[in-house]
């Protein structure tokens, strides 16, 4: 499946080509509210649409999670340095492996060969789809629980704020002396 804004940076057109070359059906969930999103859809995505691609509008959280849980994998062919990648974290939390280009935070979220694959290009992503069955979905879920647990993340944020505050106070006190 594909989940993301209707944007060239997010790469639905690439996801369609990848799924098609791998002989897979693609379910895509995308928002298309802005004129730029509509233009991208009409120019780059619509010409690729076929019976093997199902495009869904934004869904409720429960419906999106249901589709994520049942997906073989999430294709995330982003081409920009996305600073986090919530879609990847959501997929892993659902036990779904992720195939992504190694841009932005993808290498920090995906353990190549364990929770998905970091692919150099579309051809590598097509190839990785044939190996997706070797990924243990329980590993995907376990990594998400470890890395993205709310309590752990809150504690890490508090520690970071304390460190930054302490450094600023130390710098300020050195400056005042």
Give per-residue pLDDT as tens, 55-110.
998 889 999 999 999 999 999 999 999 989 899 999 999 999 999 999 999 999 99
Three-state secondary structure call for residue 100 = strand
3: phi > 0 → left, psi -120 to 50 → alpha, else beta; which?
beta
Pairing state of beta strands 53-56 and 26-29? parallel
Contact 102, 125 (CB under 8 A): no
Averaged confidence pLDDT in the chain: 94
Domain positions in the chain:
2-147
Domain 2-147 CATH assignment equals 3.40.50.2000: yes
Residue 132 confidence (pLDDT) above 90: yes
């Amino acid at each position: 499946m594909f989940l993301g804004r209707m944007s060239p940076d997010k790469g639905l057109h690439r996801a369609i080509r990848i799924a098609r070359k791998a002989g897979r059906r693609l379910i895509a969930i995308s928002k298309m509210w802005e004129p730029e999103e509509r233009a991208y859809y009409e120019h780059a995505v619509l010409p690729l649409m076929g019976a093997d691609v199902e495009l869904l509008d934004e869904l409720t959280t429960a419906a999106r999670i249901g589709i994520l849980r049942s997906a073989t994998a999430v294709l995330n062919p982003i081409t920009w340095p996305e600073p986090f990648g919530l879609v990847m974290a959501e997929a892993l939390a659902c036990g779904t492996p992720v195939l992504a280009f190694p841009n932005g935070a993808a290498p920090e979220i995906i353990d190549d060969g364990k929770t998905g694959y970091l692919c150099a290009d579309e051809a590598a992503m097509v190839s990785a789809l044939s190996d997706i069955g070797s990924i243990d979905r329980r590993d995907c879920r376990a990594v998400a629980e470890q890395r993205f647990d709310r309590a752990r993340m809150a504690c890490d944020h508090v520690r970071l704020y304390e460190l930054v505050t302490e450094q600023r106070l130390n710098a300020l006190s050195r400056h005042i002396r």
